[in-house]
A and B are shown apart, each in its own frame.
Chain A
Amino acid sequence: MKRLLALLGVLALIATACGDDDTATTAATSAAPATTAAPATTAAPADPLQAAADACTPGQVDGDLSFYNWTEYIDPELIDAFEGEYGVEVIETFYDSNESMLAQVDAGGAVYDLIVPSDYMVTIMAEEGLLIDLNDSAITNLGNLDPTFTGLPFDPDGAYSVPYQWGTTGIGFAYEALGEDFTPSWSVIFEPDPSYAGEISLLDDSRETLGAALKYLGYSLNTTSQAELDEAVELIRGVKDSIKLFDSTTFDDNLVEGETMVAHGWNGGFLGSYDGISTDDYDAYEDFGYFIPQEGGVAWVDTMAIPRTAEHVCTAHTFIDFLLDAENGAALTNWNFYASPNSASAEFIDPEIIEDESIYPSDETFANLEFIADTGDFEINYQDALTAIKN
């Protein structure tokens, strides 16, 4: 019996010891000052982490970079290049939703130097005091940003975030269903022609799904009016029979495989799929298309930000600067087909990408786009609305 217990003890020790070999997890984290109760205003003067950030100089590194990002959202060659140039290591960790990333950063207890939150999440994290104010003087390439992507509503002063990549939500379709000549409107989904009714997919995401209906109805997709939201619910319920499925993961595959004819989804997904099935003899773009409805759609921006859990703030600044470099920014886009907010990159980006209106929409289409913003406690109502639709 005693031997058994001893064995257990040893195993438990091994289990705990295993975790400590990752360099970044040792030492007390800087999570301590990140109390959630911190006021929404910018950091107080007596803030060592902020002070360290403010003292960073261009190109300075202060240790390995712990990079918390979506999986395969960056060309590994860029990581290698950064490691080679600055002699530090980049430790990558992955997440699949802004919310699980938020929970981790909010909890503290793990060193993450750089994160890639989406637009609305920047607002939340900044106002909750989870992000540090970026030191613009350490980011020399800031001027490369397209002016359209500065002063965006989710971070009006650009204090906390630097745009990473961006895209849109719209409708992917088979020409077989819509023909060559159709009105690019949300009505394609909400007033479907019987020929393809029942072959439609909608995103399975409270804000996006209801946002589409709200836009069709002429409302803001950030509405906090319960009456408008109810109207959107009724609209989707009314066409539920012509919706084949709610799908946020395989909407693009389903479309190109012919399981659906019209699909609500993110541009990057559709274009990746069209590109993927195209061969030397077959051009998928002849069969499939993507448009942003004339009533307006959703624009999203993923950004780079430094959370309160950071320890190597100067390396993080240097990495942001590195990705804002014209050629590096282009490499990012050439690798994953998402649009770059970096105007200096334009000349290095594959012309096919930059001329594609589904990736780089025209200025007038762009003006029609809306960002999803946090609606506070009204988020509950959006989630309940999606549940109501599906009940």
Chain B
Amino acid sequence: MTTRRAAARSLPGGRRPLVQRVLALNAWAVYAFFYLPIFILMFFSFNAGRFVTIWEGFSLDWYRVMFANEPLMKALRTSVVVAIVSTIVATVLGTAAALALERYRRWLGKRTFDALLYLPVIIPDVTMAVMLLIFFATVDLNRGLNTIILSHVAFNISFVSIVVRARIAQMDATLEEAAADLYASRWQAFRRVTLPLIMPGVLGGALLAFTLSLDDVVITQFVQGPGTSTLPVFVFGLIKRQVTPEINAVSTLMLVASMVLVFGSLLLQRRR
């Protein structure tokens, strides 16, 4: 561990300053690429006019409109609840699946499971939407938040497990075995050794799942029930009206909230 960390520290400023500088430059360029449209998006949330593409002056009106818009706020809450719950469930299930596939050999049905795990990534959204709708109707399950979450978990397990597997693959198994001898229980060995080692993969998978859940519109709009439209479903349903800067305002709100959460928790960690 220590050697790795030391080496990592020696890398950035280390031997090849030119390469490092190019890498840094590329990284900042990519961040600029990521945030350029986001700044535009935030900018238009302060638009006085009702377009998300034509600037007509500064105003905070859309924020007022947004907070007063009950269906919109409800959709936002639904989206956040669905994203959080489905991310947690999918991350736990997906990580376990990744461990089973990478850490344990030749168990019953492994090959089938391996293939099955890829299918939700491959299948087109609308096809999955239709088949889940028919399935829920066939098993007589009333649609609502429950069916939305069940569906989101169904596609997110695969995404999480693919990211986590990329992390576990070729990781040294002896370390865990040594830990298993050291600690009393397997669970402790998992918590103290394996989990920290695969954490970057788990975190990446969870981030991906959260993002996919927040963005999904096609599947959600088929499996939703009364009063459970999510934010993307709400926005796509505006087809008879116009997408107004209200939606930019909601997006900005979510962006700022997540930034505050991220930097807040970071500050807390530092203090500890």
Q: Which residues of A contact B (CB under 8 A)?
A: 1, 3-4, 7-8, 11-12, 14-22, 24-26, 29, 31, 66, 68, 70-73, 76, 91-97, 100, 103-104, 107-112, 248-250, 252-253, 256-257, 268-269, 272-273, 276-277, 279, 302, 336, 338
Contact = CB atoms under 8 A, between A and B. Distances in A.
Interface residues of B, number: 55
A29 B142 CA distance: 8
B240 interface: yes
B127 interface: no
Interface of B: 49-51, 53-54, 56, 69-71, 75, 81, 85-86, 88-89, 92-93, 96, 130, 133-134, 136-137, 140-150, 153, 186-187, 221-222, 224-229, 233-242
26 contacts: A4-B92, A11-B85, A11-B88, A15-B89, A17-B146, A19-B148, A22-B225, A31-B137, A66-B226, A70-B237, A70-B239, A71-B229, A71-B235, A72-B238, A72-B241, A92-B71, A93-B228, A94-B75, A109-B141, A110-B226, A249-B239, A252-B242, A272-B50, A272-B241, A276-B50, A336-B240
Given A24-B227, A110-B142, A272-B241, A11 B89 contact: yes
A202 B210 CA distance: 36
A76 B70 contact: yes
Given A15-B150, A26-B142, A92 B227 contact: yes
B228 A22 contact: yes
A106 to B, nearest CB: 9
A29, A104, A112, A302: residue with the most chain B Cβ atoms closer than 10 Å: A104
A94 B71 CA distance: 10
Contacts of B137: 31, 107-109
Contact of A103 (B85, B133, B147): B133
Contacts of A257: 53-54
B217 to A, nearest CB: 8
Contacts, number: 176
Contact of B221 (A14, A91, A92, A95): A95
Contacts of A269: 242
Given A15-B146, A15-B150, A22 B89 contact: no
A279 B56 contact: yes
5 residue pairs, one from A and one from B, having the closest CB atoms: A19-B146, A71-B237, A94-B237, A107-B137, A19-B145
A4 B194 CA distance: 15
Given A109-B143, A257-B53, A272-B241, A22 B221 contact: no
A15 B229 contact: no
Contact of B226 (A15, A25, A31): A25
Contact of B85 (A14, A21, A95, A112): A14
B254 to A, nearest CB: 18
B238 A18 contact: no
A111 B227 CA distance: 10
B85 A104 contact: no
A25 B127 CA distance: 25
A22 B145 contact: yes
A300 to B, nearest CB: 10
B238 A71 contact: yes
A112 B226 contact: yes
B221 to A, nearest CB: 5
A276 B153 contact: no
Nearest to B153: A15
Contact of A107 (B134, B226, B233): B134
Contacts of B221: 94-96, 100
Contact of A19 (B50, B147, B234): B147
A252 B244 CA distance: 13
B227 A276 contact: no
A26 B54 CA distance: 45
Contact of A253 (B51, B142, B227, B236): B51
Given A15-B146, A277-B54, A25 B236 contact: no
A16 B139 CA distance: 15
Given A19-B142, A104-B222, A109-B141, 7 more contacts: A4-B92, A25-B225, A94-B237, A108-B137, A250-B53, A252-B242, A269-B242
A66 B143 CA distance: 13
Contacts of A338: 240
B96, B145, B187, B226: residue with the most chain A Cβ atoms closer than 10 Å: B226
A20 B145 CA distance: 8
A79 B147 CA distance: 27
Contacts of A108: 137
Nearest to A91: B227
Contacts of B222: 100, 103-104
Nearest to A311: B226
Contacts of B149: 15, 18-19
Given A71-B237, A276-B51, A19 B69 contact: no
A277 B55 CA distance: 9
Contacts of A103: 130, 133, 222
A16 B146 contact: yes
